[in-house]
Structure 1
């Protein structure tokens, strides 16, 4: 296989072949990891870089140099939702937060590291809607991705009720926002 499938400018030592990068991204390899794999293998081929990436992943005991990530869900306890309703709302928060994580490269990388280091999830008790909004504002000010679920109002709570706040990030940063809250 040729180093480049299209004629183009000479690649420098810090450049990656865009065709190979796209092929690695189609394998769901995060962009930064794909670039590193290409650089480590000298931009020879997407196959070589993929083998490097997957072999390295298998040999790593921990992802992120001891940095741990977690996803927390803060439930609005003021609403008095039943167990099934809470479970469904936490599910909505998880899906919504994961979709939010796809909006930025750095958040996609964080989601990947979180997933490959155990995908820690914690459900906590929040006081009321105002409390969830305060926590969301604090998390956002720290650059943490959030997702606030607003219920459709078909069952136990009124339409527009803020039911669960999801927050994702480095464990220490998330603890700065939610560390004082009790487990559900």
Structure 2
């Protein structure tokens, strides 16, 4: 009798495990994109796609980015860092700003480590990860106009860049550009466009 109960419990446990695994796989698939708008950066003439995913409740932010080939920057010596530039006019709380910086960090890392992306640069990633401990710095910018200018300058210098757009579920309006992420790239190159910005 006890043997039968243990056998039945093991069978039920196995069925629940397998069901949970496949349910997780199904729910983890990317949700379909609903709208797509074309945006252009006036400072550089470069254009990018901004995609809004209204169906994904787990996603806090949307993004804007152009994949650039940063391999020529591998020749620039020195420290490699990632720079996160936070808009001040939105008056985000510290937690909100931190979350937006994390979105930018992850997006930049995914771009530069994706072999199918034009941004793929494993040498730069290795310098950033092992050369100086994945250095990151947060700076501030007063408004979106200046953020767009920095974005255009970064693209022109071959620095991978990423603008996070908020989904609008908490503190600020949907679609607001919150954080500009730059890099990983040599500090000397990033400093060409960010040296006059204050720390966040």
Q: TM-score, normalised by structure 1?
A: 0.62
Q: 1:181 to 1:149 in 2, by over 3 A?
A: same
Residue 91 (structure 1) aligns with: 102
The separation in 1 between residues aligned to 2:87 and 2:140, in whole angstroms, is 7
Structure 1: 4+ residue segments shifted above 4 A: none
Residue 140 (structure 2) aligns with: 125
One of 157, 162, 169 as aligned partner of 2:177: 162
- Is the strand fraction higher in 1 or 2? 2
Can you give the 5+ residue segments of structure 2 that lack an aligned partner in the other structure? 1-74
One of 162, 174, 181 as aligned partner of 2:190: 174
Residue 127 (structure 2) aligns with: 113
1:56-75 equivalent positions in 2, closer than 5 A: 66-75=77-86
User: CA-atom RMSD, angstroms?
Assistant: 1.7
The separation in 1 between residues aligned to 2:125 and 2:188, in whole angstroms, is 16
The separation in 1 between residues aligned to 2:167 and 2:122, in whole angstroms, is 28
Q: 1:177 to 1:155 in 2, by over 3 A?
A: same
Can you give the 5+ residue segments of structure 1 that lack an aligned partner in the other structure? 1-63
The separation in 1 between residues aligned to 2:163 and 2:119, in whole angstroms, is 21
Conserved 8 A contact 2:111-2:119: no
The separation in 2 between residues aligned to 1:177 and 1:89, in whole angstroms, is 21
The separation in 2 between residues aligned to 1:166 and 1:113, in whole angstroms, is 18
- Is the helix fraction higher in 1 or 2? 1
The separation in 1 between residues aligned to 2:164 and 2:151, in whole angstroms, is 11
The separation in 2 between residues aligned to 1:66 and 1:132, in whole angstroms, is 26
- RCO comparison, higher one (Cα < 8 Å, 6+): 2
Q: Count residues with an aligned counterpart.
A: 121
Conserved 8 A contact 2:85-2:139: yes
SS across alignment from 2:81:
strand
Conserved 8 A contact 1:97-1:145: yes
